[in-house]
Structure 1
Amino acid sequence: MNPERKNPIVQSYRDLEVYKAAFQFQQAIFQVSKRFPKEEMYSLTDQVRRSSRSIGANIAEAWSKRSYEAHFRSKLTDADGELQESTHWIDTAIACEYITEEQYQNLLNQLGSVGAMLGRMIANHRAFCY
C-alpha cells in the first residue's frame, strides 16, 4: 500500500521527517562553518556546506521521481552519498580543531538520525512510489 495515499499529511517532500531533519542538519553546518578560518572558505567550508545541502536537495529531487522506482531509489542513494561525504568533512573539521567535541557529537547524532531515516526509506522505496 502506498503510504502517501494512506497518510494525506504528506503532500510534498517538505512534509517528510527525513527532509526536515536534513534541512536542520544543513543549517547546523552553516552555523558552525561560519567560524571556520577564512583560508578554508573555498575548501572545507564550501565542501561541507555543499554536501550538507545536497542531502535534502537529493531527497527533494527523489520525491519528484516517485513514478520511476529506479530513479527514485537512485536519488535517495545519492542523498546517502552526500551524507557520507558530510561525515568526512565533519571528521576533517574536528581533526583540524575547527569545531568542539560537543559540536562534533551533535552533528554526528544529527547525521545518524538522517541516515537511519534515509536507510529505511531506501529499503522501503517501493512503498513511496506510485
Structure 2
Amino acid sequence: MAFKFEELKIWQISLKLSNEIDVVAKKFPSIELFSLTNQIKKAADSVNLNIAEGCIGQSKAEFSRFLTYSVRSGLEVVSCLFMASSRNYITEPEFKRLYSEYEQLCKMISKLKSTL
C-alpha cells in the first residue's frame, strides 16, 4: 500500500459504506437528485476523504481536526438516512443497518481521535 490511510480500518470501512450509500441513493426519486441524493453521497464521501486527507497531515492536531470533520460528515449521513426513511425512500432494514454501521464507524473514528 502506497499511502498510510489505506492501512486504516476506519478508512476501509468508510470506503465500503460510501459505496453502499451510492447504491442506496440511486434508488431515491429523481426529484431528490440535486438535494437529498447529492447531499447523502457527498457526506458519505466526505467521511472517507477527510480521513485520507488528515492522515497525510504533518501533525497529530491536524489529523485530529480532519477526524472531527469525518465524524461530522458521518452524522450528516445519519441525518440524511432519517430523511430518506421518513420519505419512504429506504426500507426500515436498510435504515437500521446503515444507521448501525455509521454509529460504529463514528465511534471508531472518535476512539482513534482520542488516542492522538
TM-score, structure 2 length as denominator?
0.95
Q: Per-residue CA shift, 1:36-67, capped at 9, x if unaligned?
A: 000000000000000000001000011001x3
Gaps of 5+ in 2: none
- Give 1:69 deviation, angstroms: 2.1
Q: Per-residue CA shift, 1:45-102, capped at 9, x if unaligned?
A: 000000000001000011001x312211111101111011111101100010000000
Give distance in 2, aligned partners of 1:62 and 1:11.
12
TM-score, structure 1 length as denominator?
0.85
Q: What SS is found at the alignment partner of 1:36?
A: coil
Is 1:18 the equivalent of 2:14?
no
Query: Where does 1:1-130 land on structure 2 (aligned, <5 Å)?
Result: 12-65=4-57, 67-125=58-116
Structure showing greater radius of gyration is: 1
Gaps of 5+ in 1: 1-8, 126-130
Structure number with the bigger relative contact order (C-alpha 8 A, sep ≥ 6) is 1
**Segments of 4+ moved more than 2 angstroms:** none
